[in-house]
Amino acid sequence: MAAVDLAHHPGHLARRLQQAHHLLWNTMVSEEITSPQFAVLNALVDEPGLDQRTVGERVGLDRSTIAEVISRLGRRGLLDKVRDPQDGRRFLLRLTDDGLRTHRKLSVRTARMNQVFLAPLSAAEQTQFLDLLRRVSDAAEGLRNPVEPLVAQP
């Protein structure tokens, strides 16, 4: 039996892409703050006062992962948890001043990193690539609790 051509396997290509992203992130953005942690900071800059579940949904992290990310950011002093006055079981999240400064600094670095990451593509290809990645990512969210198979719509 012949070897499978992994150049046509999306999972293999996604893993290679993730490896490249991880290398660039650690080199150009931060060795301390991860990409998912930055996504949480970014969500809270955009919408301060969200609860943990909603932040997880916004950035595409499952319940256990978002709990750990929130915990790490809290220990670093980048966000505060405040009990929701409407629902005492829920905590609302807000960035601290240090969290806002960190987000600002990392935003500049992520913009530079994205330029390097997408440099092999023309501007039009970058737009198309990001659109296609978004479509596949959005569809893949349904795999967490699949009700029916994912089928491309005509």
> CATH code at 66?
1.10.10.10
Question: How many domains does the chain fold into?
Answer: 1
What is the pTM (predicted TM-score) of this model?
0.86
pLDDT tens digits for range 78-123: 999 999 898 888 889 999 999 999 999 999 999 999 999 999 999 9
Q: Is residue 153 part of a domain?
A: no
Q: Is residue 56 part of a domain?
A: yes
Q: Is residue 154 part of a domain?
A: no
Q: Is residue 70 part of a domain?
A: yes
Q: Is residue 68 part of a domain?
A: yes
Q: Is residue 16 part of a domain?
A: no
The Cα–Cα gap between 148 and 137 comes to 17
Q: Is residue 7 part of a domain?
A: no
